[in-house]
Amino acid sequence: MIAPASPENIARAAKLLRKGKLVAFPTETVYGLGADATNDQAVREIFKVKGRPASDPLIVHLSSIENFEKLADTTLARTKLDKLARFWPGPLSVVLPKKDLVPESVTAGLGTVALRIPSHPVALELLRVSQIPIAAPSANPFCYVSPTEAKHVDDQLGKQIELILDGGPCQVGIESTVLSLVGSQPKILRPGLIHRELIEEALGECVSDGSKVTDAVAALPAPGMFEKHYSPKTRLRFSDEINPSELHGAIGLIKFREDFRELPYDFDAINTLSSDENPKEIAANLYKAIREQDLLGLDLILVDRCEEKGIGIALMDRLRRATSR
Ligand code: TXA
Ligand code: MG
């Protein structure tokens, strides 16, 4: 059931979480499907509801940096964490050595755990009221596009979730950056809004990018980063790779800027994500547009490319995966 994120409903959600139940809630990136991160049974339920393989670890959400050390060994990363503090609350997840309190179901048996402090006020309030760390993947069936509105969660998982807190559309629109702080050099495992240059500037050192995928081969940089992640059911391709007039059938177009270019085809659906190719605006609107067109029974969806700079790197990462099916 979708419920507005009122103080009463947040209190109800907190109670459900404490009882080992699942609750969907908004974060600034995408909606999460949350469970008490210290409750093995509850965490296993997340995997069941999403149809997610147990080998794909979850991100744990906390309300403050002080709480990091309850779940992770922060000794070696302490100075780095202090330098990264400017990004929290916000869309940056860090991977650290885990402590025993975190069940192996959360980390897919790894010795490390991913932690982040979300900046969405509803997520923060839920963490504060429940007083528990919340393990939450994106609230979508495994490999599908992440939800950026409560309705997206309800459409696909509504029957299996008792409560979906509605906090409006997500502002960032793509998943958090995942940064590993284990090993000699910090490494980006999944690019996001907090991009490499920002992290390097904060840390004052080089950060390696383990998330790079090319058009030819989509690598597996982080456990659970699957090639065909983030895919709609309808075939999705880059608009500069296909000449639609050589095809027949119903084709949709997702444009990144408002322009008056002569369209090469009488498209059956067109979504324009930004007036001037603003990457943040594109990110905020991308998943919703893909979902909308995926419901239209089209034969093909074409999507623009963006410049691979800043958050554009994350956008192209998601789109390469989404177009690889
Ligand atoms: O923005 C987000 O991060 C959203 C919201 C809900 O917070 N969550 C999210 O979770 O995108 P999910 O489960 O869809 O993606 C989590 C990814 C895993 O697939 C994996 O790539 C990485 O985070 N991850 C988690 N734990 C890890 C670990 N211990 N080591 C390496 N990568 C890890
Ligand atoms: Mg996901």
Tokens standing for residue 55 = 């080998």
What pLDDT was estimated at residue 210?
77
On whether the CB atoms of residues 294 and 232 are closer than 8 A, the answer is yes
On whether the CB atoms of residues 252 and 139 are closer than 8 A, the answer is no
Is the CB of residue 221 below 6 angstroms from any atom belonging to ligand 1? no
> pTM for the complete prediction?
0.95
Report residues near ion ligand 2: CB below 5 Å: 138
- Please give the helix or strand (H or E) that residue 148 lies within, else none: none
Which residues, at least 6 apart from 278, have a Cβ–Cβ distance to it below 8 Å?
Answer: none
What pLDDT was estimated at residue 226?
62
Q: 244 CA distance to ligand 1 centroid (A)? A: 36
What pLDDT was estimated at residue 221?
53
Residue nearest to atom 29 of ligand 1 (CA): 113
Tokens standing for residue 129 = 């009221």
Among 104, 165, 178, 318, the mutation site with the greatest number of ligand 1 atoms within 8 A of its Cβ is 178
Which is the closest atom of ligand 1 to the Cα of 106?
A: 26
Is the CB of residue 30 below 6 angstroms from any atom belonging to ligand 1? yes
Report the 10 Å Cβ neighbour count for 104. 15
Is the CB of residue 58 below 6 angstroms from any atom belonging to ligand 1? yes
What pLDDT was estimated at residue 319?
96
Q: How far is Cα 276 from Cα 274, in angstroms, rounded to an integer? A: 6
pLDDT (tens digit per residue) in 132-181:
999 999 999 999 999 999 999 999 999 999 999 999 999 999 999 999 99
Bridge-partner residues for 238, per DSSP?
Answer: 303
Q: Please give the single-letter amino acid code of residue 283.
A: A
On whether the CB atoms of residues 186 and 208 are closer than 8 A, the answer is yes
Burial class (CB in 10 A: 0-12, 13-18, 19+), 83: middle
On whether the CB atoms of residues 113 and 106 are closer than 8 A, the answer is yes
Residue nearest to atom 19 of ligand 1 (CA): 224
pLDDT (tens digit per residue) in 74-97:
999 999 999 999 999 999 999 999
Q: How far is Cα 325 from Cα 323, in angstroms, rounded to an integer? A: 6
Tokens standing for residue 142 = 């495994």
- Please give the helix or strand (H or E) that residue 139 lies within, else none: none
Q: If you ran DSSP here, which 8-state letter would residue 306 be given?
A: -
- Classify the C-alpha dihedral 262-280-92-113 as positive or negative: negative
Residues of the chain scoring pLDDT < 70 = 212-228
Burial class (CB in 10 A: 0-12, 13-18, 19+), 85: exposed
Which residues, at least 6 apart from 48, have a Cβ–Cβ distance to it below 8 Å?
Answer: none
Among 94, 175, 177, 181, the mutation site with the greatest number of ligand 1 atoms within 8 A of its Cβ is 175
Q: How far is Cα 319 from Cα 255, in angstroms, rounded to an integer? A: 13
Q: How many CA atoms lie within 13 Å of 84's alpha carbon, on the beta-carbon side?
A: 33
What pLDDT was estimated at residue 217?
39
Is the CB of residue 250 below 6 angstroms from any atom belonging to ligand 1? no
Among 59, 149, 157, 190, the mutation site with the greatest number of ligand 1 atoms within 8 A of its Cβ is 59
On whether the CB atoms of residues 61 and 33 are closer than 8 A, the answer is no
What pLDDT was estimated at residue 215?
41
What pLDDT was estimated at residue 264?
77
236-238/300-303 β-pairing? parallel
Among 93, 116, 182, the mutation site with the greatest number of ligand 1 atoms within 8 A of its Cβ is 93
Tokens standing for residue 281 = 């605006």
Report the 10 Å Cβ neighbour count for 258. 11
Q: 116 CA distance to ligand 1 centroid (A)? A: 10
What pLDDT was estimated at residue 98?
98
Is the CB of residue 223 below 6 angstroms from any atom belonging to ligand 1? yes
